Amino acid sequence: MQQSKRAVILVNLGTPTAPTASAVRTFLREFLSDRRVVDLTPWLWQPLLEGIILPLRCRRVADNYLRIWLATGSPLAVYSQQLAQDVECALRASGRPWPVRLAMTYGQPSLARVWDELAAQGVTEVLILPLYPQYSSTTTASVWDAWGRVQASRPQVPALQFVADYHAEPAYIAALAHSVRAHWQQHGQGHLLMSFHGIPERYAQQGDPYPQQCGQTASLLAQALALPANDWSMSFQSRFGREPWLQPYTDVTLGQLPAQGKRRVDVICPGFAADCLETLEEIAIGGAELFHAAGGETYHYIPALNAEPVQRDMLIQLITQRFAC
């Protein structure tokens, strides 16, 4: 029997190609048209999106991207691409010459483009690893949907392994703990706020396990760091629209912590594998402004794991466990 040829696809959400209103509009139109992200009926949502939301938001969002854009491009794209390259190199060095590619759910490189390239190389078995530690229908399930669309018209589909989440994997928790300890060694220790991306409350009420998985990650990280209950907390950021989202809200929490005697705060965003607009602009910049305005004294954002060796090694462990030879 011919041995299958394996490959790995790391998937992240996506990013505009430039910090411009035009590029942001193209990206947001695709992102916010996904029924997993906004589940309103298209006849109601699309006029709002095209007539109000995109015209009002694109310039402001582009200005926010300008604040965090790197010389080499969008942070999310730069860090995610470097991570994929590092994982591939390390796998090859260990005798596993498996191609590792980065794909985006929205924008480029798309899953379709990446799979076409791998299929042309004769790949017959693929592991898809969404870079979302905690499962949500708004993120992980969108990757599954996108993969299904890619394969819908193919005459032959590859064998598939799909990593739905890794929120409680020991290697993931250890990588987060290593990052926090390294930060504390350099800057000293403050109250640790773990901020996760939010989702509407009704998604959780309909069965999305995301809030429970975020809570498990936070508890396991606090245990790994031997933190007393009073020295850490968790919250949810990036809410959009008027309906209730998961609480407590990060911005509200940052405004309350100084009055609770927490005048030194370290914020980590464990749900983000790579830094992006939501971590660098909303949390690192905007969060600091909120905290200081409320009377806080010292504020630090602990970067995402990005392309650090601890994240590379953690992903390799996940991959090799599922591609057990």
pLDDT digits (tens, 9 = 90+) for 3-58: 679 999 999 999 999 999 999 999 999 999 999 999 999 999 999 999 999 999 99
| Fold of the 170-302 domain | Rossmann fold (3.40.50)
Mean pLDDT of 280-291: 98
Q: What is the mean pLDDT of the chain?
A: 96
CA distances to 2, 11, 242 from 145, rounded to whole Å, are 30, 13, 27
pLDDT digits 0-9 by tens, 157-207: 999 999 999 999 999 999 999 999 999 999 999 999 999 999 999 999 999
Task: Give helix then strand counts, H and E, for the chain.
Answer: 13, 8
The DSSP bridge pattern shows strands 6-12 and 264-268 to be unpaired
At residue 242, the pLDDT reads 87
Proportion of the chain above pLDDT 90, given as a percent? 96
pLDDT band at 262 (very low <50, low <70, confident <90, very high): very high
Q: What is the pTM of this model?
A: 0.95
User: If 0-12 CB within 10 Å is exposed, 13-18 middle and 19+ buried, where does residue 29 land?
Assistant: middle
Average pLDDT over residues 110-136: 97
Q: Where are the domains of the chain?
A: 21-68, 170-302
- What pLDDT was estimated at residue 1? 40
Residues 6+ apart with CB under 8 A from 306: 79, 82, 83, 273, 274, 275
What pLDDT digit, counting tens, does each position of 312-323 carry?
A: 999 999 999 999
pLDDT number for residue 325: 53
Q: What's the average model confidence in pLDDT over 282-297?
A: 98
Coil, helix or strand for 190?
coil
